[in-house]
Amino acid sequence: MRVLLVEDDFLLGDGVRAGLKQAGFAVDWVRDGQAAKLALETESYAAVVLDLGLPKIDGAELLKWWRRNDTKVPVIILTARDTVADRIAGLDAGADDYLIKPFDLDELIARLRALLRRSVGQAAPILQHGDVELDATMHLVRKGGKVVELSAREFTLLHELLLHTGRVQSREQLEQHLYGWGEEVESNSVEVHVHHLRKKLGNELIRTMRGVGYVID
Ligand code: CA
């Protein structure tokens, strides 16, 4: 899943980016409101992690602008300003959740996953298909009750396909969820990950639609 991180503090931003990447997200990180605006206009994201105090365009202002165009993508705001008024302003501007700095990275990831589940209408933390189940909270996949080891990208790919069961995802769409900016997209990487997923979880799970993409029926 591709996430936009908007944070001007270098140390914090770097830490959050590393943590989200570790958790299997593809992360684009920008450090001011103007750059965030450009990113939101040109890319598509599964979620946004937004600092409120930003150079050039303030986080709440940016969010208000964006919510006029897009109301669906979940946004978590980060704020150092521990005042009720700031949080209310952020939520009024269209944020779905907030965290007060300093916050725990695991909590951010857990809340992000909860928002992502809700945004695709899946309230249950476990996605199931036949004897395969994916637990997004624990970042675990089981087949027939046994844990199967997946790489971060294999996990992301499976997650994406399970979230959109019955809908074909093109290779380009899937690549978008696997890679952030500046990360080199390995050629045939989606095909390779699908191949590995089939080896680990069974050939029949993911269907190839030749020339179109992949689907879990
Ligand atoms: Ca800031």
Q: How far is CA 215 from the centre of its chain?
A: 19
Domain boundary among 119, 153, 174: 119
Domain boundary among 77, 95, 119: 119
* Domain identity same for 137 and 89: no
**Could you tell me the CATH number of the domain that includes residue 111?**
3.40.50.2300
- Neighbouring-strand partners of residue 143: 132, 146
- d(CA 177, ligand 1 centre) in Å: 26
Q: Which amino acid is at 201?
A: L
- d(CA 88, ligand 1 centre) in Å: 17
Asked if residue 146 has pLDDT above 90, the reply is yes
What average pLDDT does the structure give for the chain? 90
* Domain identity same for 98 and 147: no
| pLDDT on residue 217 | 92
How many CA atoms does the CB half-sphere of 67 hold within 13 Å? 15
Please tell me which of 109-118, 178-187, 207-216 the model is most confident about, judged by mean pLDDT: 207-216
How far apart are alpha carbons 165 and 52 in whole angstroms? 35
Residues with Cβ within 8 Å of 71's Cβ and at least 6 positions away in sequence, in order, are 94
Range(s) of the domain holding residue 198 = 126-215
Instruction: Please state the rounded mean pLDDT for residues 66-95.
Output: 85
Q: Which two tokens stand for residue 59?
A: 């986080």
Mind listing the pLDDT tens digit for each residue in 28-56? Answer: 999 999 999 999 998 889 899 999 999 99
pTM over 0.85: no
Our count of domains for the chain comes to 2
How far apart are alpha carbons 74 and 71 in whole angstroms? 8
* Domain identity same for 110 and 191: no
* Domain identity same for 79 and 154: no
* Environment of ion ligand 1 (residues, CB < 5 A): 8, 51, 53
* Domain identity same for 111 and 200: no
How far apart are alpha carbons 9 and 59 in whole angstroms? 13
| pLDDT on residue 138 | 73
* Domain identity same for 99 and 163: no
| pLDDT on residue 9 | 95
- d(CA 99, ligand 1 centre) in Å: 13
SS3 111: helix
Q: How far is CA 156 from the centre of its chain?
A: 9
* Domain identity same for 109 and 24: yes
- d(CA 29, ligand 1 centre) in Å: 13
* Domain identity same for 137 and 184: yes
* Domain identity same for 141 and 111: no
Residue whose pair of structure tokens reads 């695709």 in the numeric block: 120
* Domain identity same for 99 and 155: no
| pLDDT on residue 108 | 96
How far apart are alpha carbons 178 and 159 in whole angstroms? 11
Confidence grade of residue 131 (pLDDT, cut at 50, 70, 90): very high
How far apart are alpha carbons 130 and 126 in whole angstroms? 13
Instruction: Please state the rounded mean pLDDT for residues 104-130.
Output: 84
Widest distance between CA atoms in the chain: 54
Domain boundary among 99, 119, 139: 119
Which residue has better confidence, 119 or 162?
Answer: 162
- d(CA 147, ligand 1 centre) in Å: 40
Cα 10-46-123 angle, rounded to 5 deg:
120
- d(CA 35, ligand 1 centre) in Å: 14
Look at strands 207-209 and 146-148 and give their pairing: unpaired
Confidence grade of residue 116 (pLDDT, cut at 50, 70, 90): confident
**Could you tell me the CATH number of the domain that includes residue 207?**
1.10.10.10
If you write DSSP's letter for every residue of 6-52 in order, what string do you get? E---HHHHHHHHHHHHHTT-EEEEE-SHHHHHHHHHH---SEEEEES
* Domain identity same for 98 and 23: yes
* Domain identity same for 102 and 25: yes
